[in-house]
Amino acid sequence: MTKIIGLTGGIGSGKTTLATYLKSLGIPVFIADGEAKKLMQSPEVVAEIQTIFGTTIFENGILNRQQLAAIVFSNPEKLSQLNAIIHPAVKKQFGFWLDQYQSEPFVVYEAAILFESGSYKNCDSIITITAPLEDRITRVMQRDNSTREQVLHRINAQWTDEQRIAKSDFVIENSDAQQAKNSIDEILKILKIQQNEG
């Protein structure tokens, strides 16, 4: 039976870098945020978003993601409404994806809001990535051309590291890229041992 390893961490913690490293080791990785972005262009999801948020956040039929982010990250109720559209669609997509990897010992499910979405319940083990707050802010400002205030807004909309750590099996402190990769290698060794014993 394929084991599902949840990989999570706050915005700017370096999840994607470590997910890419896991892929390079030949482990299938499902990037939930990436799938969510694709699904936001599907006709069914677009129709649901338009029903709740109106058509003003669309330009020539294309969703303005920055406008949508500005709305949901300043309004918890709107964020919940958006998540109620996106999460079931991502979950369904993951089911289709997982069917292709039934012979693999592990797959990785990478999601920023693994806990908030309830997806953690489907995982056999969970790895949380942490990083110093200032590192996270700098990374996201450079990556998204965001202001410091916008980044802090998004960080505050997510669970804290403490909340995530309390529900995780493994924690990787990602202030040094090579050390973080070494930690992944160690965790994989442990998981393989557990699987052989199981």
| pLDDT attached to residue 195 | 84
| Inter-axis angle of helices 76-99 and 65-72, nearest 10 | 120
Question: What is the value of pTM for the model shown?
Answer: 0.91
Q: Are 140 and 12 in contact (CB under 8 A)?
A: yes
Phi, psi of 7 (to 5 degrees): -125, 120
Question: Rounded to whole angstroms, how far apart are CA atoms 60 and 45?
Answer: 16
CATH 3.40.630.30 fits 3-197, yes or no: no
Q: How far apart are alpha carbons 140 and 13 in whole angstroms? A: 9
pLDDT in tens, the chain (198 residues): 899 999 999 999 999 899 999 999 999 999 999 999 999 989 999 999 999 999 999 988 889 988 998 898 888 899 899 999 999 999 999 999 999 999 999 999 999 999 988 999 999 999 999 999 999 999 999 998 889 998 998 898 889 999 999 999 999 999 998 999 999 999 999 999 988 886
Tokens matching residue 59: 């330009």
Name the packing angle between helices 43-53 and 76-99 (round to 10°): 170
Residue 198: the pLDDT is 66
Q: Is 149 helix (H, G, I), strand (E, B) or coil?
A: helix
Tell me the domain boundaries of the chain: 3-197
CA distance 2 to 5: 10
